[in-house]
């Protein structure tokens, strides 16, 4: 699929589908919609009315143009209410258009950017490119039959002269390309999340990471159990020891060219449990069906590293993945075991299903030896997080200070669904162990918070750190405008924006 900017009149584009939008509230039809509708004597508005089209996000109407027009069809997509029309609405609009175009077998599409107050035009162009690529995503890697190649080949991104006043073509083109690179990272994360646990075990995850590193010129290192032993990563090794698939610690590095020693250094740390059976604290049959997604944090880290390598911000970035499979076995760790972490803290393991925090504790210790200025970990850590926030929103934990500032700026642009949660000091006592420095579970209450407090014990004093519990949003339960049911690649976009934020390349206000 090839995306390019289009500055001629969109309505004269010789394409299979013209995609345009309409708002759900008083803002009503966009100028492009109105112009086309007028040339059709109101037939487009009538068709929308007949279909009970209300301009809601995800809603769309396909309209066949009369013969003699340069384009064959029009897809009208709902933009939602005008006052809520931010970057995410733009992304969904583009995704919805791409999906609708593919459904009617279109090979070419011209899509109206629909600029509006509330977001800078360069951000809109980026979000639109992301939406087209994400909406077109499918996971076909394991199918041997009935695989239909994606019909959509060319996409023209239409901008009217008024919207681009004051912007250079180069600026617009790089915004478009930025969106494509970010989407490619998200798509990689989706693939990894969708892969079944017999295919994507820790060694395979390391191999796929190596391939990304090779193609994108990233530094790459993988620790085998022997090397992890030397590094005292006994918690991580412990989680993996019940599986025939060996654990791995995966480490990718992005080095900005020509940057000095004083650039910010980020570490992204991902939970990479390729399957979570719970270990000896075995999950129920129902509880483990979805557990191939337990490497969603690792997927986000790898996707973000790929996008960062393509975007080249002036920051140094480490991507660290703690990969293991959590299985019951004669050699598995037991409830009651006490294990010393890489950092030297002894941990009493009372539930082997609370394994993510064990792997992350050692991966965080490894990450901090790299002297980062900012550390972000991502993990499908707790079911409790989904009880608190639902299936589509993630929890974000961080203290006030430099991390809060940077993370919130990144979150603001990515518009991924997070909710800030408290690192409640009063809950710390539930992690006190009778026999060791700490135990790996609390009581029933505040399970996502106590998991975050456990991790905090392994973060050095004064470190700028954020913990993202992404258990819910890594997997979509149903199809939506920006993708099918399945892996979502959640987290990639916020990580990329964080790297851009700390590189200082994002101007406070764009024209």
Give the footprint of Zn ion on this chain (CB under 5 A). Answer: 273, 276, 294, 356
How far, in Å, CA of 466 to CA of 375, rounded? 6
How far, in Å, CA of 413 to CA of 498, rounded? 9
CB of 486 to Mn ion, least distance (A): 21
Q: Given candidates 112, 130, 348, 353, which one binds ligand BES under the rule CB under 6 A?
A: 353
CB of 379 to ligand BES, least distance (A): 8
Q: Given candidates 29, 95, 303, 356, which one binds ligand BES under the rule CB under 6 A?
A: 356
Binding mask 88-127 for ligand BES (x = CB under 6 A): ----------------------------------------
How far, in Å, CA of 348 to CA of 336, rounded? 6
CB of 407 to Mn ion, least distance (A): 26
Pairing of strands 475-476, 486-487: antiparallel
Place of tokens 């299936």: 391
Cα atoms found within 13 Å of the Cα of residue 306, Cβ hemisphere only: 24
469 binds Mn ion (CB under 5 A): no
How far, in Å, CA of 367 to CA of 249, rounded? 11
| 210 flagged as catalytic | no
Give me the phi and psi of 197, to 5 degrees please: -70, -20
Q: Which does 382 bind (CB under 5 to 8 A by kind): Mn ion, Zn ion, ligand BES, none?
A: ligand BES
Q: Which of residues 406-465 bind ligand BES (CB under 6 A)?
A: 441, 447
Burial group, residue 282, by CB count within 10 angstroms (0-12, 13-18, 19+): middle
Q: Which does 125 bind (CB under 5 to 8 A by kind): Zn ion, ligand BES, Mn ion, none?
A: none
325 binds Mn ion (CB under 5 A): no
Closest CA to 355 of 428, 434, 275: 275
**Residues belonging to the chain:** 511
Q: Given candidates 204, 246, 355, 416, which one binds ligand BES under the rule CB under 6 A?
A: 355
Q: Which does 322 bind (CB under 5 to 8 A by kind): Mn ion, ligand BES, Zn ion, none?
A: none
Which of these is catalytic: 54, 72, 210, 283? 283
351 binds ligand BES (CB under 6 A): yes
CB of 500 to ligand BES, least distance (A): 29
Q: Which two tokens stand for residue 274?
A: 């390729």
Q: In the complex with ligand BES, which residue's Cβ is closer, 253 or 326?
A: 326
User: Contact at 8 Å (CB) between 246 and 225?
Assistant: yes
Q: Which of residues 247-276 bind Mn ion (CB under 5 A)?
A: 276
To the nearest 10 degrees (0 to 180), the angle between helices 296-311 and 492-503 is 40
325 binds ligand BES (CB under 6 A): no
How far, in Å, CA of 324 to CA of 276, rounded? 9
353 binds Mn ion (CB under 5 A): yes
Mark the segment that binds ligand BES (CB under 6 A) among 47-55, 198-206, 352-360, 480-488: 352-360
Report which residue's Cβ sits closest to Zn ion: 276
CB of 351 to Mn ion, least distance (A): 8
The CA-to-CA distance between both ends of the chain, in Å, stands at: 29
Q: Which two tokens stand for residue 29?
A: 């039809």
Q: In the complex with ligand BES, which residue's Cβ is closer, 19 or 395?
A: 395
Give me the phi and psi of 289, to 5 degrees please: -60, -35
User: Contact at 8 Å (CB) between 439 and 348?
Assistant: yes
Q: Which of residues 369-408 bind ligand BES (CB under 6 A)?
A: 380, 382-384
Q: Which two tokens stand for residue 477?
A: 């339960």
How far, in Å, CA of 301 to CA of 321, rounded? 7
Q: Given candidates 309, 354, 452, 502, which one binds ligand BES under the rule CB under 6 A?
A: 354
Which of these is catalytic: 73, 342, 357, 456? 357
User: Contact at 8 Å (CB) between 316 and 265?
Assistant: yes
Q: In the complex with ligand BES, which residue's Cβ is closer, 134 or 471?
A: 471
| 314 flagged as catalytic | no
How far, in Å, CA of 440 to CA of 283, rounded? 17
Q: Which two tokens stand for residue 171?
A: 């600026």
Q: In the complex with ligand BES, which residue's Cβ is closer, 163 or 282?
A: 282
CB of 241 to Zn ion, least distance (A): 16
Applying CB under 6 A, the residues found at the interface with ligand BES are 276, 290, 294, 351, 353-356, 380, 382-384, 441, 447, 471
Residues noted as catalytic: 283, 357
């Amino acid at each position: 699929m090839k995306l390019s900017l289009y500055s001629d009149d969109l309505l004269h584009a010789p394409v299979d589908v013209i995609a345009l939008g309409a708002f759900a509230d008083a803002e009503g039809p966009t100028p492009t919609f109105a112009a086309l509708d007028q040339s059709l004597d109101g037939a487009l508005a009538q068709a929308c009315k007949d279909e009970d089209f209300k301009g809601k996000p995800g809603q769309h109407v396909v309209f066949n143009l009369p013969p003699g027009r340069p384009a064959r069809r029009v897809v009208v997509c709902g933009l939602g209410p005008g006052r809520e029309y931010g970057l995410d609405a733009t992304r969904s609009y583009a995704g919805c258009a791409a999906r609708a175009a593919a459904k009617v077998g279109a090979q070419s599409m011209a899509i109206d950017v629909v600029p509006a107050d509330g977001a800078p035009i360069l951000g809109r162009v980026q979000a639109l490119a992301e939406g087209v690529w994400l909406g077109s995503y499918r996971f076909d890697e394991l199918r041997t039959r009935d695989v239909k190649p994606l019909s959509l080949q060319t996409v023209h991104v239409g901008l009217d002269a008024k919207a681009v006043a004051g912007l250079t073509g180069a600026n617009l083109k790089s915004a478009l390309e930025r969106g494509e690179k970010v989407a490619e990272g998200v798509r990689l994360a989706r693939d990894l999340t969708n892969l079944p646990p017999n295919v994507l075990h820790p060694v395979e995850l390391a191999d796929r990471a190596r391939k990304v590193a090779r193609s994108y010129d990233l530094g790459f290192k993988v620790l085998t159990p022997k090397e992890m032993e030397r590094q005292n990563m006994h918690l991580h090794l412990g989680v993996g020891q019940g599986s025939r698939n060996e654990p791995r610690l995966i480490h990718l590095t992005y080095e900005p060219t020509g940057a000095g020693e004083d650039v910010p250094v980020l570490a992204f740390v991902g939970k990479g449990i390729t399957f979570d059976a719970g270990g000896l604290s075995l999950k129920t049959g129902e509880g483990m069906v979805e557990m191939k997604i337990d490497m969603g944090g690792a997927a986000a880290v790898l996707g973000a590293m790929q996008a960062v390598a393509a975007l080249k911000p002036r920051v140094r970035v480490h991507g660290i993945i703690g990969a293991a499979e959590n299985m019951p076995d004669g050699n598995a760790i037991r409830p009651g075991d006490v294990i010393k972490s890489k950092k030297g803290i002894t941990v009493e393991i009372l539930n082997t299903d609370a394994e993510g925090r064990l792997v992350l504790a050692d991966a965080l210790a490894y990450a901090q030896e790299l002297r980062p200025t900012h550390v972000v970990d991502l993990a499908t850590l707790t079911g409790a997080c989904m009880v608190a926030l639902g299936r589509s929103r993630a929890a974000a934990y961080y203290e006030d200070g430099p991390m809060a500032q940077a993370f919130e700026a990144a979150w603001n642009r990515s518009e991924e669904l997070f909710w800030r949660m408290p690192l409640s000091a009063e809950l710390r006592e539930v992690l006190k162990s009778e026999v060791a420095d700490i135990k790996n579970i609390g009581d029933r209450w505040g399970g996502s918070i106590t998991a975050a407090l456990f991790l905090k014990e392994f973060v050095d004093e004064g470190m700028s750190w954020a913990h993202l519990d992404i258990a819910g949003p890594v997997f979509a339960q149903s199809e939506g405008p920006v993708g099918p049911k399945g892996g979502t690649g959640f987290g990639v976009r916020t990580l990329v924006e964080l790297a851009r934020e700390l590189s200082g390349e994002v101007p406070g206000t764009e024209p």
